[in-house]
Structure 1
Amino acid sequence: MSKPLWRALFRPRPLLAFAAALLLATAWGSLVQTQYNLAALQGLGQSIDAATRWQTSLQDLLGFGPVYAAIVLAAWLPAFAAAFWLGRRKGAYLVCVVPLATSVSLIAAIRLIDAFAPMPVLIYATRTLDGLLAMAVGGLVGGLLFIWLVRPKADRAGDLR
């Protein structure tokens, strides 16, 4: 009899893959919201040079990044649980379900936070559908990274050819 799936997830490799995916999705979301904020300032006539854009991006990674990481983590824990329950047969199905779950869970978490935030939206970029979807792409890419990092060794051997 094989080990339950939850035991397989709490091994070093899946945990490191989860951490890497979380970092990628967090950095993506932080940078997306920074660029939306800077674009809004430019729309108001503010001139923003490349040095300011880089400095602001770095400051937001350090300042907003941890807050967004907590949002991503809160969204992903139930998303991963649902994805692995739905994809318990593994294979191609799981490869599709995890990235879908990681992106949809971010949309749900952001909209849930917005429902309780005193301001119209917590993250300016998510005021529009394109901004919300740009943030969700970070979840999708993070989910794909997770799947790529935990794929079986036989699949990884083919990468070197």
Structure 2
Amino acid sequence: MQTTKLWHRFCWFCLAVLTAAVLGSILQTQFNLAALVELGVGISWQDWLVTIGKDLISFTPTLAIIIAVEYLFVFPLGTFIARHYPKSNQWVFFVGGFVGLWVALWVVDAIAPMPTLIAATRDWPGTLAIMLAAAFGSWLYARGRQHRDPLKFAGEPL
């Protein structure tokens, strides 16, 4: 594989991981804060924003590691399938990111000392939301890996 092509895929990989981790972190914060409000805790909008910011700094790296490891398995498999079924390219990556994170969360929860590492994934709505963030990141990778010029990619309709 050419160095330029490898670099291109690496950049899209990093963008996919970052996008999924940031979205997932924001979503998990929303689910956690909503659970506290449901318990009767009053949370101001300022505290809500501060908590999102703190989670972006403290939780996003953890989620990024989980997602990056997941993508290291999902992307080669998605690339293999997309070569054989080119029309399914973006959907293969979307579904792979979705299911791959579910498997990754299952593995992480099995080895973590606490019942669940990510509190928002204790229930299905939170789990599905974070899985959708990972699916979006892998879909973004599938879109980006097809284009050499990022400006061309930005101008195309989704």
Same structural fold, with TM-score higher than 0.5 when normalized by the shorter chain: yes
Shift in alpha-carbon separation, 1:73–1:135, aligned structure 2, 3 A: same
CA distance in structure 2 between the partners assigned to 1:60 and 1:157 by the alignment: 29
Aligned-pair identity in percent equals 32
Alignment match of 2:57 (pick from 52, 62, 70):
62
Q: What's the CA shift for 1:94?
A: 1.8
Q: Which ranges of structure 1 fall in alignment gaps of 5 or more residues? A: 1-6
Matches within 5 A, 1:39-50: 39-50=34-45
SS at the partner of 1:26? helix
Q: TM-score, normalised by structure 2?
A: 0.87
Q: After alignment, is 150-159 or 19-28 more displaced?
A: 150-159
- The 1:144/1:45 distance shift into structure 2, 3 A limit, reads same
Distance 2:105 2:80 in 1: 23
Cα distance in 1 for partners of 2:96, 2:130 equals: 14
* 1:87 maps to 2:87: no
Q: How does the TM-score come out when normalised to structure 1? A: 0.86
Moved more, 9-18 or 51-60: 9-18
The alpha-carbon deviation at position 158 of structure 1 amounts to 7.0
Q: Flag structure 2 segments of 5+ consecutive residues without an equivalent.
A: none
Q: Answer yes or no: is 1:96 the counterpart of 2:101.
A: no
Aligned match for 2:47, one of 52, 61, 82: 52
Structure 1 residues 41 and 14 mapped into 2: Cα distance closer, same or farther (>3 Å)? same
The residue correspondences of 1:101-116 to structure 2 (distance < 5 A) are: 101-116=96-111
What is the rounded CA distance, in whole Å, between the counterparts of 1:38 and 1:128 in structure 2?
14
Change (3 A) 1:8 1:28: farther
Give the CA deviation at 1:41: 1.1
Please report how far the alpha carbon of residue 157 of structure 1 lies from its aligned counterpart in structure 2 after TM superposition.
Answer: 9.2
Q: Which residue of 1 aligns with 2:114?
A: 119
Range moving further from structure 2, 130-139 or 11-20: 11-20
CA-atom RMSD, angstroms?
2.3
- Name the CA distance, whole Å, in 2 between partners of 1:81 and 1:66: 23
1:149 aligns with 2:149: no
